[in-house]
Structure 1
C-alpha cells in the first residue's frame, strides 16, 4: 500500500515538474515572438520610409547584402 502512495506522489511531482518546465518554455517563446514582432515592425517602418522616398532599390540591395 505504501508503494502505491509513493508512486502516486512521484507521479504528482513529475506532473508538476513537467508543467513548470512547459510554462518556462512558453515564457521564452513569448519573449522571442515579441522580439521578432518588434523587429518586423521596425523593418516595416524602414521599408515604408524607403518606399515613400523612392529608394526602394537601395533598400533591397541592403537586404540582399545581409
Structure 2
C-alpha cells in the first residue's frame, strides 16, 4: 500500500484500473528508448493535483 500525500492522489484501487490503460514504456519496446525518469503513478498524481487545484482557484477567482 502506498501512502496518499494529497487527497487527489490515486488510490491503489484506482491505479489498478488506470495502469493497464497506459502504453508500454518505450524502453520496453523493440525500438527501445530512454528509461522513464519518474514513476507513471507519480505523473498521474501530479496531473490530478494540478487539475484539482486549478478548479478550486477558478471557483475562488469567479466568486470575487
Instruction: Report the structure number with the largest CA radius of gyration.
Output: 1
- Confirm or deny a common fold (TM above 0.5): no
Higher relative contact order (CA 8 A, sep 6+): 2
TM range (shorter): 0.3 to 0.5
